[in-house]
Amino acid sequence: MIFSLLVYAAPHSHQGAETAYRFAVACLAQGHSIHRVFFYGDGVHGATALAAPPQDEPNLPARWQALAQTHKLDLVVCIAAAVRRGLLDANEARRYEKPGHNLQQDFELSGLGQLAEAAIVSDRLITFGA
Amino acid sequence: MTLHTLNRAPSNTALLADCLRACSSGDTLLLIEDGVYCALAGQPIAWPAGVTLCALAADVAARGLDSRLASNIAQADDAGFVQLCCEHTRVISWY
């Protein structure tokens, strides 16, 4: 079955950010495919490369990246939600003349069309709320 | 048949009421995150008839509620969560 995940929850604010990751792992372990993980609203904080949680706590952006590399996941971050929260890739940093960029590797900034497409293509779209 | 997930404690009465109103006979309600507090024995919750109730096992264990769940509530692990999503044609998240 083809799944897509919609993540509204930010790490360290809501458990939903972690639940989404656990769900993705369980999903892949059962042989299902994940078409896309879409980070929206405060969920975009799950894609920052600058998070530095204590070593005995999960670093979700790093975990997603590792999972994406193993399973070729499409990790998409809503660009409008991201830039207004200070989550930028190199392009956006240039466009807005900001001193740095912080999008974790293997994540991509894109538009809501990617969410619509995921909803159409996937058998199930599972929302992880804040 | 719809799978509903609920991730808030029963103190969020408006959300719980909305969720329960939307549950039809044959649906399943999976309690996740702080939603597992709804599964405690003795909660004054009028569960709708014909709705299967379960709680996410890792979230129950994380809160130390294993021995305190109501008898009508089963536990599902993360793999079971995925299976429930497959078995139901729709999944609605209440949060």
Q: Residues in chain B with pLDDT < 70?
A: none
* Partner B contacted by A127 (CB < 8 A): yes
Using a 10 angstrom Cβ sphere, with 0-12 exposed, 13-18 middle and 19 or more buried, the burial of residue B66 is: exposed
- Structural domains of chain A ordered from first start: 2-128 (3.40.1260.10)
Q: What is the pLDDT of residues A111-120, one digit of tens each?
A: 999 999 999 9
- What pLDDT score was predicted for residue A64? 98
Task: Say what the ipTM of the complex is.
Answer: 0.96
pLDDT, residue A74, reads 98
Instruction: Convert the pLDDT of each residue in A13-69 to its tens digit.
Output: 999 999 999 999 999 999 999 999 999 999 999 999 999 999 999 999 999 999 999
Which residues of chain A from 27 to 46 reach within 8 Å of chain B, CB to CB? 27, 29-30, 32
Q: Do A22 and B33 touch (CB under 8 A)?
A: no
- CATH assignment at residue B68: 3.40.1260.10
Q: In this complex, is the C-beta atom of B78 within 8 Å of any C-beta atom belonging to chain A?
A: yes
Residue B23 structural domain: 2-94
Q: How far apart are CA B28 and CA B84, in angstroms?
A: 8
Distance (Å) from the C-alpha of residue B23 to the closest C-alpha of chain A?
17
> How many domains does one find in chain B?
1
pTM: 0.96
Quick check: B95 and A30 CB within 8 A?
A: no
Burial zone of A52 (CB within 10 Å; 0-12 exposed, 13-18 middle, 19+ buried): exposed
Give the model's pLDDT for residue A21.
Answer: 98
| A13 Cβ under 8 Å from any chain B Cβ | no
